[in-house]
Amino acid sequence: MKQIITFIFIFLAGISLPISAYSQNCESNFEFSVQEEISPLTYQFQENCFSNTPIIKYSWDFGDGSTSAKQNPEHQFLSDSVFLVSLTILTADSCSSTHSDSIHISKLIPPTCMAYFTFIRMNQATDYTYAFTDHSVPTYGDTISTWLWNFGDFSQSNAQNPIHQYSATGNYNVHLSISTKQGCSSSYSFVINIFNGNSPCQASFTYSQDTSGNLLQYHFHDNSSHSTTITSWKWFFDDGDSSILQDPNHVFPFAGIYFVKLKINTAGGCSSEITFPIKIADPKTYNVWGRVYAGQYVIDKCIAYLYKEYYNNYYKAVDTVRLTSINDTLGVYYFFQVSEGNHKVKVLLPNTSTFSDDYAPTYFGDNARWPQGNTLYLFQDISLANINLENVIPSVGHCMISGNINSTNTNISTLAGIELLLYKNSGAIADYAFTDAQGNFAFDELAPGSYSVSGEITGLYSNMINLNFNQDFDTISNLIINLSNTSITGFFIRNEVNNFKFSYYPNPVENILNIEFDSSILTDLNIQISSMDGRLINQYNITKNSPNLIQISTANIVKGVYLLKLYDLKSKIQKVVKFVKI
């Protein structure tokens, strides 16, 4: 009897060891990674579970009040914190297991230093001698500590602004690397051509910040070399504004980095230009996010575009995020660490979206056209900048439209992917389309009736063409849609916008805010005061030829920071500044 008991003990002990590796028939586990191409707050989760039978249910809890039932979800966190993420599984044989892990979400500040340089040939020195000028921009609050130049001829320098003499003509790849005290590094390269003789002109300029207290005002001084008289100067300030003066003063709309360009022409037929970045004041960065809705539903996929708005309706693309699993990211687009200023957000649904046939690309402000989209005044973090996509209401028939884009008066580099909007007579969107590589577009299967067609590119204007179909006229071909950027990116002579030059004081203000124009008001204006989140506080309409001093009462406005917006009702030009109510 004793022997039998011993045998059973040994047998049970023998099978108990492998079972101890899994205390049950299933065990939950997962891995995760950051989706940097979307934002530092977006995570991809991958289950890594064990089970003897098929897993029939996944239950994720992300620790921020949101959940998912997907096997491998993607999730967008909306703040930096520590979140306890849990995955519970249920198998076909009713086994259940939960695994939890703490995730530390941190907003990584991207490095923002930038290496850059310009050069000129020193006509007064020995042939092939060049002066190099460092224009690198350090991270905000940081300073550049080292420079390393490689002149492409096996010689180097650690000076900030070196002078280098080449021994022969040819092409040389000049390379500059910088590093800062806070550990940021950047490099920039440019191939220069060394040739015999001297250049008859070379554009060059210096600049300085105004000392009267306006941190956004800068003085520019032409420092070009020339063998014959300079006949014209053209300055482009990278903010939609420009000047033809030799030594202009300029007020930038926001703090930030601007690539300022000077182009000169001489009486001897020489033309030269120079461009380099200038850091204006001390720009701050903020975050903006919002949810995207198709009717009452959160959309499944989208591409969100962020544009920065400058003077004269000049826009520049700033960032793009592509969200491919928005059911798990709460339908949220997220732009991270954006430089301060005025912005617009546009959302487009890819063809693979369930809603792409039923909803058109739409701007924040719930409108498909950029002039009617709302501006985001990004001087603090903005949350819940939600977008409700404009509905497409099709009408099915046998009519057809085809045409082409004319972009002669624009700086568009490609004709592919330009958006076209087709409106019904009622104003509802009937359809939208995109051009092919040759700029061709088409709308087909349309019902008889009245329509209008226009192009849609942020910052560009398009003509609106009205069309009418009936039973006897059902096809329109060779339709030409003209795009123009004359009033957005064209050359502006300062006197043309003199009516929009103004100063405002005092700032901070207590009871009366004075707005003083440089001359009489030459156009009808709308003046608005709004909160930093875009809420309208007061607005005033100022008629043409009004006195150049406008006084606005701020006595009833609570203390805080506000936006003052002046809008030219004729040219559609607007300017926005900040003031403080005390």
Q: Which of 403-412, 536-545, 566-575 has the lowest mean pLDDT?
A: 566-575
Tokens 């939600």 belong to: 386
- Whether 57 and 149 map to the same domain: the answer is no
Residue 11 binned pLDDT confidence (cut-offs 50, 70, 90): very low
Burial class (CB in 10 A: 0-12, 13-18, 19+), 464: exposed
- Among 131, 126, 122, which Cα is nearest to 167's? 126
CATH number of the domain to which 317 belongs: 2.60.40.10
Among 118, 147, 121, smallest CA distance to 133 is for 118
Cα separation, 430 vs 54, in Å, equals: 47
User: Same domain for 429 and 545?
Assistant: no
Same domain, 163 and 272: yes
How many domains, the chain? 5
Q: How many CB atoms lie within 10 A of CB 493?
A: 11
Structure tokens at 142: 């940081």
Quote the CA–CA distance of 36 and 559 in Å, as a whole number. 39
Is 2 a domain residue? no
How many CB atoms are located within 10 Å of the residue 463 CB? 13
pLDDT per position as a tens digit, 259-292: 999 999 999 888 989 998 888 988 888 889 899 9
* Span 327-377, pLDDT tens digits: 455 678 888 888 899 999 999 998 888 899 999 999 999 999 998 999 999
Q: Is residue 376 part of a domain?
A: yes
> Which structural domain, as residue segments, surrounds residue 377?
285-388
pLDDT tens digits, one per residue of 51-88: 999 999 999 998 888 888 889 888 877 777 788 999 99
What's the CA gap between 226 and 492, in Å, rounded?
25
Q: What is the model's pTM?
A: 0.64
348 and 240 inside one domain: no
Q: Are residues 274 and 129 in the same domain?
A: yes
Q: What is the pLDDT of residues 227-263, one digit of tens each?
A: 889 999 999 999 888 999 999 999 999 998 899 999 9
Q: Which amino acid is at 436?
A: D
- On whether residue 3 sits in a domain, the answer given is no
Residue 1 lies inside a defined structural domain of this protein: no
* Pair (383, 521) in one structural domain: no
Q: Are 303 and 321 in contact (CB under 8 A)?
A: yes
Residue 66 to residues 39, 71, 330: CA-CA distances in angstroms? 18, 15, 8
Question: Long-range pairs for 9-18 at CB < 8 Å and ≥24 separation?
Answer: none
DSSP state of 330: T
Task: List % helix, strand, coil for the chain (3-state, nearest 5).
Answer: 5, 50, 40
CB atoms under 10 Å from CB of 169, counted, come to: 12
